[in-house]
Structure 1
Amino acid sequence: MPQLEVDGARLTYDDEGPRDGAAVPLVFVHGWTANRHRWDHQLAHFAPRRRVIRLDLRGHGESTGAGVRTIAALADDVLALLDHLEVERFVLVGHSMGGMISQTIALAHPERVERMVLVNSISRMTYSRGRGLLMAASTLAPFRLFVAANIQRAFAPGHPREEIRAHIRSSADTPREVVMTLYGAMREFDVLDRVGEIRTPTLMVHGYHDIQLPVKQMLRMAKAYPDAVVRIIDAGHELPVEKPAELTEAVDRFVTERP
């Protein structure tokens, strides 16, 4: 597994697929408490014919490092990796927090982003009064209970319990400082008033049963985008593992269609 030292962190990443194709690389960015293996299905599908890059974000998976307190700082890590790999132009695919990172990159460097896919992601975190109080109270729970509650509710009803337990265990291995700091960073993330600047063709894929980041919040974001396509899938918040084949098909169709 290749690794890159970036500002006190060691980022683990995969860089697979042919380098000589005409298509720009696909860059997959996972979400909060997850890791690059959320994209296993997509890597297996695309890498035989297209360059695919994915990483464990700072403090996640097999990457080290902490202290990052903003989504913008995580975006800087992604760009540092792409600069190291000499990838100038790319397609971004971001899930949840990874979608926030992707939007940050698209706003800062529109000339580098050919297309973008936002999976279960939004531009502004919005809570009702009741849900806001519930989320604030949840931070007072024991750490593993806090993680378990958030991961459990991320899946649509009926998803296999053993798979959910496996994701809870994996997420709970993420250092507490990283989990709680980035939880706050997501709550503070807000680019909704700026997404009208994003001219990058964008696909928004969302789970109908997503209660973490509800569909109506995504649709509010979609209305602000100049060039957005929306697809709703019968799943919860964890589309990459709940409905991997459907997500892969949606991404494939979007990134290969002619402008």
Structure 2
Amino acid sequence: MPQLELDGAALTYDDEGPRDAVDVPLVFVHGWTANRHRWDHQTAHFSGRRRVIRLDLRGHGDSTGAGVRTVAELAEDVLALLDHLEVERFVLVGHSMGGMIAQTIALAHPARVERMVLVNSIGRMTYSRGRGLLMAASTLVPFKLFVAANIQRAFAPGYPREEIREHVRASAGTPREVVMTLYGAMRAFDVLDRAGEIRVPTLMVHGYHDVQLPVGQMLRMAKAYPDAEVRILDAGHELPLERPAELTAALERFVTVKP
């Protein structure tokens, strides 16, 4: 597994597919407590004919390091990796927190982003008073229970319980400092008022049953985008796991260059 040493961290990444492909590379960014393998289905599908890059964010998966306090700092890590790989222009695909990272990059470096796909992501986390109190209280429970509560509710009803337990165990392996710090970073993330500045073609794919980042919040963001398409799938917050083939098909339609 190749790694990039960066500011006290070692970022593990995969760089697959032909370097001489006509289309620009696809760059996949996972979400909170996840890892680059969220994108296994999409990587297998696309890497036969175009370059595909995915990474484990700092402190996640096979990457080491901590210390990042904001989504913008995670975006800097992603850009540092792309600069290291000499990738100037790309299609960004981000899930959940990864979509927040993608929006941050698109705002700061619009010329580098050819297209963007936001999967179960939003531009501002908005809570009702009741949900805000519930989320605040959840940080007071033991760490493993906090992680389990958040991951379990990410899946739509009917998703296999044993698979959910596996994802809970994997997420709980993320260092506590990373989990809690980035939980706060997501709650503080807010670019909704700047959504109109993001003029790259954007696909927003969301799960109808997403209670982590409700679909209504995504639709509010979509209204502000000058060039956005929306797809709603029968799933919860974990579309890359719950509906991998459907997500890949949606990506295929959006990123394939038409003659």
Runs ≥4 in structure 1, deviation > 2 angstroms? none
Alignment: residue pair count: 259
What is the TM-score normalised by the length of structure 2?
0.99
| Aligned: 1:168 with 2:147 | no
Partner of 2:154: 154
The offset of 1:7, in angstroms, is: 1.0
Structural mapping, 1:175-254, within 5 Å: 175-254=175-254
Give the Cα separation in 2 of the matches to 1:111 and 1:167: 36
The offset of 1:198, in angstroms, is: 0.5
Partner of 2:116: 116
Partner of 1:47: 47
Letter in structure 2 aligned against 1:147: V
Give the Cα separation in 2 of the matches to 1:50 and 1:169: 33
Secondary structure at the counterpart of residue 61 of structure 1: coil
Secondary structure at the counterpart of residue 137 of structure 1: helix
Secondary structure at the counterpart of residue 219 of structure 2: helix
Letter in structure 1 aligned against 2:51: R
Partner of 1:63: 63
Secondary structure at the counterpart of residue 132 of structure 1: helix
Give the Cα separation in 1 of the matches to 2:258 and 2:64: 39
Secondary structure at the counterpart of residue 5 of structure 2: strand
Q: Show CA shifts across 1:16-73 (max 9, x none).
A: 0001111000000000000000000001000011100000000000000001000000
Give the Cα separation in 2 of the matches to 1:191 and 1:6: 26
What is the TM-score normalised by the length of structure 1?
0.99
The offset of 1:257, in angstroms, is: 4.1
Instruction: Structure 2: state its 5+ residue gaps.
Output: none
How large is the RMSD of aligned CA atoms in angstroms? 0.7
Secondary structure at the counterpart of residue 151 of structure 1: helix
Secondary structure at the counterpart of residue 187 of structure 2: helix
Instruction: Structure 1: state its 5+ residue gaps.
Output: none
Secondary structure at the counterpart of residue 194 of structure 1: helix
The offset of 1:258, in angstroms, is: 3.2
Letter in structure 2 aligned against 1:247: L
Structural mapping, 1:10-21, within 5 Å: 10-21=10-21
Percent identity over the alignment is 86
